[in-house]
Amino acid sequence: MDDYPLLNVFWTMMWFFLWVLWLMLLFRVIADVFRDDSSSGWAKAGWTILVIVIPFIGVLAYLIVRGDEMGRREIARHEAAYRYYGGSNGGPAKGTGHAEQLSRLAELKSHGDLTVEEYELAKAKVLAA
């Protein structure tokens, strides 16, 4: 380790982390190209070819041209997931049976997340539905 000074270790680590960051950005852009419902097939093919053939210029061009829409799509996707899994409707319980809902309530009660009164009220709502 004497022939590899500390500054070289720092530079090697920095370049490695920048490379990992670049790969994450590249895959995120490619994923966004395919998730975009507003683009045609030709546009998706063009962006994909550009990003693969000329990666640095392609990714930078995509971020400049479509970066704001990329952010909006990501926010909409997270909001939809929140509404489905943990939003105001209580998650995916709308498609589950009463037994699953009651077992989930019992689990919440056993963990101490629900008081006995809250458990009885929620149980009555499930059974009334």
Indicate whether 88 pLDDT > 60. Answer: no
Indicate whether 112 pLDDT > 80. Answer: no
Question: Between the CA atoms of 122, 124, 128 and 129, what dihedral angle is there, to the nearest 10 degrees?
Answer: 10
pLDDT tens digits, 27-68: 999 999 998 888 899 999 999 999 999 999 999 999 999 988
Indicate whether 4 pLDDT > 90. Answer: no
CB within 8 Å of 10: residues ≥ 6 apart: none
Note whether 50 and 43 are within 8 A (CB): no
Indicate whether 105 pLDDT > 60. Answer: yes
Give residue 107's pLDDT band: very low, low, confident or very high (50, 70, 90).
confident
